[in-house]
Amino acid sequence: MISTNDVRAGMALNLPDGLFQVVDHQHTKPGKGKAFVKMKLRNLDTGAVAERTFRAGENVQDAKIDRREFQFLYSDDMGFHFMDGETYEQMAVPQELVTDAAPFLREGMTVQLPIFEANPIGIDLPASVEMTVTYAEPGVKGDRVSGATKPVTMETGLVVQAPLFVEQGDLLKVDTRSGDYITRVS
């Protein structure tokens, strides 16, 4: 148990209605009445964000989330399969937990899996990944307007808007939070 006065952003709480991560918190002492703590919480099962208010000093259950590095192996109808690099233990993560990260996953890629009570609760990607362009329409000579982009298809099937000079076979760095082109690596 932890006091609501000691809660900080990023902590995980095991509340009666689910597992939540603290996005933001604010301790308030009004002129009249007792102090309270207002928190913005993200449900780790659904991803929904909600605001909750607690009395100052109220005890809540903190959740110990273990973040370990895993290597992505493959995906099939059972989910996405990862291997722990230290113990070589394999773990299948259900499709529902990986939906946003799936277009960025390449075989052999290392990611962090947050694990609560021996069950994965999501996937943490690096801020950017490097992927190879598998299809890009050729740029037309003279069509070099500054800032112009074209859609290119990456090795995972992800379509990214990239500058006109990008060609098939190029290695690009892509932002995993927004899916935007960052730079050409090769």
What is the pLDDT confidence band of residue 181, given thresholds at 50, 70 and 90?
A: very high
- Determine the average pLDDT of the residues in 1-20: 85
- Give me the percent of the chain exceeding a pLDDT of 70: 95
CATH number, position 171: 2.40.50.140
Of 61, 5, 2, 3, whose CA–CA distance to 35 is shortest?
Answer: 5
Average pLDDT value over all residues in the chain: 86
Q: In terms of DSSP H, where are the helices of the chain? A: 95-98
| Greatest mean pLDDT among 40-49, 92-101, 148-157 | 148-157
CA-nearest of 128, 102, 97, 129 to 113 is 97
pLDDT band at 1; cut points 50, 70, 90: confident
Total number of domains in the chain: 3
With 70 as the cut, is the pLDDT of residue 24 above it? yes
45 and 8, same structural domain? Answer: yes
Q: Which domain holds residue 113?
A: 66-120
pLDDT top residue among 44 and 56: 56
Across 22-26, 83-87, 130-134, 135-139, which has the greatest mean pLDDT?
Answer: 130-134
Q: Same domain, yes or no, for 29 and 73? A: no
Query: Do 10 and 36 fall within a single domain?
Result: yes
Q: What is the pLDDT of residues 79-96, one digit of tens each?
A: 899 999 889 999 888 887
pLDDT for the residue 51: 92
Confidence of residue 20 (pLDDT cuts 50, 70, 90): confident
158 — phi, psi (to 5°)? Answer: -70, 135
Q: Is the pLDDT reported for residue 42 higher than 90?
A: no
- Residue 81: what pLDDT? 93
Q: Above 70 in pLDDT, residue 60?
A: yes
pLDDT of residue 145: 61
* pLDDT value, residue 146: 63
CA dist 129 and 101 (Å) reads 11
Residue 46 sits in a domain whose CATH number is 2.30.30.30
Please say if the pLDDT value at position 172 is more than 90.
yes
Residues 46 and 12 both lie in one domain? yes
Question: Tokens 């909600």 map to which residue?
Answer: 50
43 & 91 share domain: no
